[in-house]
Structure 1
Amino acid sequence: MNPTKPLLALTLAGFALNAYAHKPWLLPSTTMVESKDAWVTVDAAISEDLFTIDHQPLKLDGLTVTGPDGAKVEPKNAVTGRLRSTFDVQMAKAGTYKVSVVSQNVLASYKLNGENKMFRGAEADLKNLPAGAEDVKVSRTESRLETFVSANKTDDAVFKPTGAGLELVPVTHPNDMHAGEKATWRFLLDGKPAANQAFSLIPGGVRYRGTLGEIRQSTDAKGEITFTLPEAGMYLVTSSWPAMAAPQPGQPRPVVPRRASYAATVEVLPQ
């Protein structure tokens, strides 16, 4: 069992409730490359200050890079250090690439000898619960962490939804967004419109700005939203389903049967 995968899932699931929690992220060196030999370097970490390397690396288990033709692309020069992971992506074909880390995990609460216990791990490890476990309540979490980069042109092939979990299908291409212009995004849950889905948009540079600068929005009945893009910079989009209720003092957080979470790094370019 890899302990980082449950950590990623739980961190993502907590975004909508606590914008100040440790955040996992993928940060490309650029989102648009115009070159005959196109490469990007991607940093991957979990941090308290967004895009600041201050806590621990994001493990690269489950990392997938998908090219514009749908083929998998092998990351190059992958290294995991003390505070961050990093890897390179060679974009041999023109078009848009999707970099993603997807995980499915289980959170369970139970009682053992009258004491409340928690389990975090993979579905297959549920069989390892103690034989005397009582009042077992299981919640399954699907987490998706992404970023998008393009070489020499943009296209939309990588945005075809998988139909599993919470997904962002950007009607406005995320590598062609400019400050002050309108953008349209669509959120899907299991391939269907995620109506009234709340999401957060947080700009990088919090440590220099002194305030979080979070923007909160919600989709319409079709799972879509059109909004004016903020100032140029790198942003983290986060969303979770269902909306998490605020914890009650002295009470354990209720375990819901299923959670889905999404996060992506996008760049807003200058006008």
Structure 2
Amino acid sequence: MPLPLAHAKDSITWMEVNMPPHFIQNGALRGQGYGDIVGELLRQRLPNYEHHRMTTNVVRHFDMFRRGDKVCAIGLYRTSERESFLHFSIPSLLVMPPALILHKGRLENLTAQKTLSLKSLLANSEFRLGISKDRSYGTTLDAVIAQYRHRSGLTVFSGQEIGENYFKMLLLDRLDGLLGLPDEAMFRAEQMGIRDQLVVLPLEENRDDYKGWQCAAVCPKNAWGQEVIARINAILVEIRPTPRYRRAYERWLDANNLPLYRRVYDEIFLATKPQ
């Protein structure tokens, strides 16, 4: 009598991008990105699925989502356009928005404020700021930058990431500040061995837009995706308060931002529940 065929597990392919420290795919810190850690925590709690990981660009991500493939991702922002083809989990990541990156020695000149207004900084023609021309900093900051795009003292560079040369310009007093994400600044500074020399200050323009701090896990907008997201939601409610989950992102913040981040995490991020 023939043996019955084993029931094959359903599968999930997790779509990732090479964007440290969200995902770190090379070097001594490989696998220690906050997306790496959150993804591993989710996969451990989804044993009924066979898991695969794929690194590709965002365009291919969205093509596969629109086709309804059995793919999911961690850490996408919710938009009305994306809601047409994606199921979103409750917030899976709390990520601080773009901020001002400074050499610690500059704090005295800025009266050691805890936050600053980008508009007031750019209105001061003597303040030398470095920004990327190839990325969005969010609608509010983009609008401020557009007002001052042609002012003197603005250093505009190409590419999505802040290169080492611009951090060196901070240290050599050739720039007063850089605009970037707090976690990417600390990752790059750690790679260069200068983490203790930098500080990151939140900007008043985006400090209270907490919705813009929150990303979600996503799967295709079909019955399969809806079921996976329901399972992910239940897991997130369980694991988001745990120390390991919190440390995954906090590890990439400087001390100046931790009190604000922890308050928003406890009061707003953890308060979100599945509907």
Q: Same fold (TM over 0.5)?
A: no
Q: Give 1 or 2 for the bigger CA radius of gyration.
A: 2
Larger strand proportion, structure 1 or 2?
1
TM-score (norm 2): 0.23
Larger helix proportion, structure 1 or 2?
2
